[in-house]
Amino acid sequence: MDHDWTTQNIVVTGAASGLGRAICYRFAQLGAQVHGVDLNQATLDELQQSLGSGFSAVTCDISDWAQVATAFERFEAIDVLVNSAGITGQTNLKSPETEPADVERVFQVNFFGSYFTSKAVLPRMIARGYGRVLHIASIAGKDGNAGMLAYSASKAAVIGMTKVQGKEVAGTGVTVNALAPAVIQTPMVDAMPPEQVKYMTTKIPMGRCGSLDELVAMVEFIVSPACSFTTGFTFDLTGGRATY
């Protein structure tokens, strides 16, 4: 993509593993200044050693508004925010079998985490007249995955928030969009019950998981200056499962 990323400051949540880690690597390779936010200090330190001066580690619990407000104050100017932090919570359970505390925790990370971080960056983006916010949602938020009440409902909330925020910033030079992947091969997916992963994969017409390379390529486009006439939209990355 023909764009000079070396002028961009990019904040990525969930940076220590999975999608977030892959996104950090991509933008560091492109020469951007990447700020990785995560709870896992040890893994962030390892990422710092791998990526060097183009990466800065920020330890923060994104489910805690006070921590987010404090951590994000240190960023002078943020061009891009990618919210990729997420947890599945307990899976392969029918709704009546779920634990309220687990459902609440999943919402705290998946929905409130994205809400808090976007709340922290949007005013300054709007004031500067430029910004890109991308919430990583899920096909589960569109279709609902049986056995994944907390995850599906929290990602549906993220999609709803994206529609609201995207409309609110329209015309300001800022865009807010979401990305709804199907199953992407990550450590989070590897840790899920095999029957749950099989349930999700069999619904994909391409019959396979998506790759991290496919995901980061789409992320790169969505948060680029070139993607300037799309806001409030949830992009598809599902191998044909979702065609709406």
Task: Name the residues annotated as catalytic.
Answer: 151
3-state class (DSSP) for residue 11: strand
Phi then psi dihedrals of residue 57, to 5 deg: -95, 135
Nearest to 14 by CA among 63, 53, 50: 63
Given a contact cutoff of 8 angstroms between Cβ atoms, the answer to whether 8 and 32 are in contact is yes
129 secondary structure, DSSP code: T
Q: N- to C-terminal Cα distance for the chain?
A: 26
Nearest to 71 by CA among 39, 23, 110, 46: 39
Q: What CA–CA distance (Å, rounded) separates 174 from 190?
A: 35
Strands 80-83 and 33-38: unpaired
Given a contact cutoff of 8 angstroms between Cβ atoms, the answer to whether 187 and 212 are in contact is no
Given a contact cutoff of 8 angstroms between Cβ atoms, the answer to whether 28 and 15 are in contact is no
- Position 237: which residue type? L
CB atoms under 10 Å from CB of 74, counted, come to 9
Given a contact cutoff of 8 angstroms between Cβ atoms, the answer to whether 197 and 148 are in contact is no
